[in-house]
Structure 1
């Protein structure tokens, strides 16, 4: 990650002319989606022996990655967005990145990345998908009960 930020900073620092297409770029926007998928396997590991031997290395790599992102914020990285991550993973795996602001419940951002509750309900309401309004409501409830870590913001 540090090498990547060095490359970006190097490219941007070589821009000399205001007419250069990169002249107005001050840094990148970093978006990380579902970076915790490996740690979700820890909740129900398929091979617990293999998992235990690899977990420490994976945790160390992630903590180092987020520490590098934190050091690049405001310099090479203008903004960082993390989506599709369980709150438990934010606490443990990003301990080097303790500058985050949790905005998942802000309705004005509900459609920023991914689907809103209205999007999911509209698909479930299609006759070919669930067959009836009753089944669509049932399936939406199941999804909210099991997947609301992804936060279907009410009214979003």
Structure 2
């Protein structure tokens, strides 16, 4: 039984003369003691939970602060990267303008590209010729073996 102020005011004991009955008073005190003990346990449990929640709150606040710092650092890095990207684009534009301004350099670049393409084509042709040579060599070997087999089947040794 949970005891509240109102429930305690409603408690009454039978009297025997000017004394209360000891059994009733003892039973009431036992119930009251049990109720107080349950309340103390509940209060103790709530305090533990409160302490745990405070620790969790503190941990979460620290985590939040760490995440805010990380967020600020990442924003700073992003801004620095954007600034670096902009600087690189500016440099690239300056180089492109220089190249456009010097026709000799552009001509050399085109000649180099043409030479690289021609080199790649020559390498491709060499590979094709090697493959063709290997195919022809194998065909000649097969023909020579076939001729040798035919010669071996001839009846006369003089022909050999």
Q: TM-score range by the shorter chain?
A: under 0.3
Higher relative contact order (CA 8 A, sep 6+): 1
Give the TM-score normalised by the residue count of structure 1.
Answer: 0.22
Structure number with the higher helix fraction is 2
Structure number with the higher strand fraction is 1
Give the TM-score normalised by the residue count of structure 2.
Answer: 0.21
